[in-house]
Chain A
Amino acid sequence: MHMADALLAPAVAATMYAATGVAAGVSIKTLRKDENTQKLPTMAVASALVFAGQMINYTIPGTGSSGHLCGGMLLTGLLGPQAGFLSMIVILAIQALFFADGGLLALGANCWNMAFYGCFVGYYLIWKPVMHSKLFGKSGARTAGRLKIALSSILGCVLTLQLGALSVVLETSISGITELPFGAFVAVMQPIHLAIGLVEGLITSAVLIFVYETRPELIMDADTSGDAVRSKCSLKTTLVILAVVVAVVGGGLSLVASGNPDGLEWSMFGNAESGYSENMGLDEENYGVSSTAADTAASIQEKTAFLPDYAFANSDSAAGTTVSGLVGSAIVAALAAAICFAGGFFRKKHKKAAAKA
């Protein structure tokens, strides 16, 4: 889900930087108020761990594939939203700088898409209400804690990934990078990330439950006292929040449905999509596209495709532009090659001089 620099217009990138900057500023202020410099190395080690943990393959039972960890919800559950957000920023920055995963310009957008939702939305909308709720109260404090962690991890990951995926689509579309219609783009991204979010949620909850069972004091908002849950949030409010979540996710999906108003776009997308999914090695069934629609699209394509009537109109000026552009580009290429050659030449000379000395 890492956005690349090339997929963003500078204005969009700057906006996302500003948004991330505000969220980071608020987080830092909150952390300072808590005088939690104690947390600094814990944050560093936790983010280093998540970074390393992202490289582990988790076999998904029943399938041949494996899942990975993203980490937003995991860090939130361990460090709280503010510290978790800052840790995620750092992880994303290191990925962008050292692994070319994402980009410098896209960093703001990536932080927003992956860290902000995972940490703040995930915490305040899901983690905190669920952890403080009386849910599963009948099954004993320990079991209830476990179930609540599982519920909020999975819900949190699914919701925040949906939001993140939607943001990727919005940002790319606003940037005017892709010709892909908005609705079709959403239709690809959301279901894929539904699956990814589920797997990530399962991994996150597995790790957090393990920590809860061994060192419950490390989990945010966990009930460590062992006695009755001091509930700030009744079952009713929890249900209301869950309803909101369902509405948001459902809304996102229904947006997809209404996002393909005319069959043409949708089916063209289907056609193009088959190539896309082959390239990406994705599961075609994830976003089922009816083949009949694709067939019609193919015929429409043939009719509307290459060399329309006005093919050679204005060909003089167009050709002129093309030629001088090509010649200029060729000169640039020659210049680049010359620089490479000169650089190599000087280095060799330098080496020889060094060898002599």
Chain B
Amino acid sequence: MNNISAASREFREMDELSAQDSPIHRLHPLVKLLVTLAYIVCVVSFPKYQLSGLAVMVLYPVLVFQLSGIPVRTCFHKLRIVLPLVCAVGLLNPFFDRAPLLYVGGLAVSGGVVSMVTLMLKGVFSLMASFLLIATTSIDALCAALRKLHVPALLVTLLLLTYRYISVMIGEVAVMTDAYRLRAPGQKGIHISVWGSFLGQLLLRSMDRAEELYQSMQLRGFRGEFYYADQPPCTAGAVAYGVVCAALFVLARLYDLPQLLGNLFV
């Protein structure tokens, strides 16, 4: 089952990306998290017809891609999950909202078309922003940032542990599905007769394993919270970066910058 090995490959890929080094990687994780959230909120809050205003928001991901050296290709690969949903909702707009909104060389463009494109751009932009966050920040750093935001330790520890164990689990599921397929040629998935036992077997084994894991943690003095790996210091520069970014996002959201820019020339 291709998607299983694809998933474990994706995990490894993200791990490797976040282990690289760049000015963005070195930023304090909390700053990155907040900037990303500010960006997404600004992008999503654009009115549905304000296509030109939204266009300027492309600069942030483009800049971060370049500064961090993360290949854009890896991101577009991930669009395949979100885009169909956004498109499905967006594609209907041109059918319902037919009032012409603007004219390009005498050709009327309906509000639905504009809002569809706006919606798709919003989808792509917000996805790129969260992709860039996770591609430049390790899960440990992110968890440390979440703790700084006072997200409960239980939840953060659970996130970290689950993340650790997903790669082990995916590996086991991959081995099991391979073993299944080798004895069941031509089947597309798991037959109904083994629906329960297939995942159930793994579940029982995993429960024992969870116990052993927890014991091994306890034996080494675990009291319910991890010490997160050292985070880059929250320098004045990082704070300035955060403030400037947020201010620019708000500015871009309040004023239709491309429109103003265009007015200078037209």
* Interface residues, chain A, with chain B CB atoms under 8 Å away: 2-10, 13, 24-25, 28, 31-32, 37-38, 40-49, 51-53, 55-61, 64, 66, 69, 78, 86-87, 89-91, 93-94, 96-105, 172, 176-181, 202-203, 205-211, 214-215, 218, 268-269, 271-272, 275-276, 279-280, 304-308, 311-312, 315, 318-329, 331-333, 335-336, 339-340, 342-344, 347
Contacts and interface: CB of A to CB of B under 8 A. Distances in A.
Smallest CB-CB A-B distances: 5 pairs = A328-B258, A343-B66, A57-B189, A324-B262, A210-B200
A87 B162 contact: yes
Contacts of A206: 192, 195-196, 200
Contacts of B195: 58, 202-203, 206-207
Contacts of A99: 7, 10, 78, 81
B241 to A, nearest CB: 16
Contacts of B79: 100
A210 B197 contact: yes
A56 B127 CA distance: 25
Nearest to A29: B152
B111 to A, nearest CB: 9
Interface residues of B, number: 120
Interface string B243-264: 0000000000000111111110
Nearest to A24: B155
B155 A28 contact: yes
Nearest to B168: A48
B166 A48 contact: yes
A96 B130 contact: yes
Task: Say what secondary structure dominates the interface of chain A.
Answer: helix
B98 A55 contact: no
Interface string B25-58: 0000000000011001101110010011001101
A254 B191 CA distance: 35
Contacts, number: 363
Contacts of A275: 91
Nearest to A342: B66
B155 A172 contact: no
A324 B259 contact: yes
Nearest to B197: A210
A332 B211 CA distance: 55
A45 B257 contact: no
B99 to A, nearest CB: 8
Contacts of B196: 205-210
Interface of B: 1, 3-4, 7, 10-11, 14, 36-37, 40-41, 43-45, 48, 51-52, 55-56, 58-59, 62-63, 65-67, 69, 78-79, 81-82, 84-93, 95-100, 102-104, 106, 108, 110, 112, 115, 119-120, 122-123, 126-127, 129-131, 133-134, 142, 152, 154-155, 157-159, 161-166, 168-170, 172-173, 177, 187-192, 195-204, 206-207, 209-211, 213-214, 217, 224, 256-263, 265-266
A328 B52 contact: yes
A326 B107 CA distance: 14
A197 to B, nearest CB: 16
Contacts of A103: 40, 82, 126-127, 130
A53 B199 contact: yes
B182 to A, nearest CB: 16
A339 B45 contact: no
B165 A325 contact: no
Contacts of B115: 179
A25 B10 CA distance: 32
Nearest to A280: B88
B190 A59 contact: yes
A59 B199 contact: no
